[in-house]
Amino acid sequence: KAGVTQTPRYLIKTRGQQVTLSCSPISGHRSVSWYQQTPGQGLQFLFEYFSETQRNKGNFPGRFSGRQFSNSRSEMNVSTLELGDSALYLCASGDPGGEQYFGPGTRLTVT
């Protein structure tokens, strides 16, 4: 069974631009969560989707948004990028028992 895939793996953007990251969960998993990882703050929860509905949202500004499609694939969007948005963005796919499986991440650098 294929694991969680994330595209692109690396991105360099300029302040003020917007970016869209994509995540394909493990086949059959309907839950997708997103996390931001930085050296200072560690791993922080962004949002969780289940069957196309946002189930939970972390404490991030409205510039961070996401969605989930009917095939469970998910995208997250960050508008008006700031230098502090530079991070590793990780997507996790959840099985019915609650175990979370993470993808390789997208490394976003904002200059």
Partner 1 sequence: KQEVTQIPAALSVPEGENLVLNCSFTDSAIYNLQWFRQDPGKGLTSLLLIQSSQREQTSGRLNASLDKSSGRSTLYIAASQPGDSATYLCAVRGPGADGLTFGKGTHLIIQP
Nearer to partner 1, 35 or 64 (CB): 35
Count of residues in contact with partner 1, rule CB under 8 A: 27
For position 62 contacting partner 1 by CB under 8 A, the verdict is: no
Cα distances (Å, whole numbers) of residue 30 to 25, 46, 83:
8, 17, 32
In 3-state terms, what secondary structure has residue 44?
A: strand
Nearer to partner 1, 78 or 90 (CB): 90
Q: Among 1, 2, 42, 53, which residue sits at the site for partner 1 (rule: CB under 8 A)?
A: 42
**DSSP of 50-88:** ETTEEEEE-S--TTEEEEE-TTS-EEEEE-S--GGG-EE
For position 48 contacting partner 1 by CB under 8 A, the verdict is: yes
For position 96 contacting partner 1 by CB under 8 A, the verdict is: no
φ/ψ region of 67 (left if φ > 0, alpha if ψ in -120 to 50, else beta) reads: beta
Q: How many angstroms separate the CA atoms of 2 and 111, rounded?
A: 34
For residue 33, the minimal CB distance to partner 1 (Å) is 5
| Interacting residues toward partner 1 by CB under 8 A | 4, 6, 33, 35, 42-43, 45-48, 56-59, 88, 90, 92, 97-105, 107
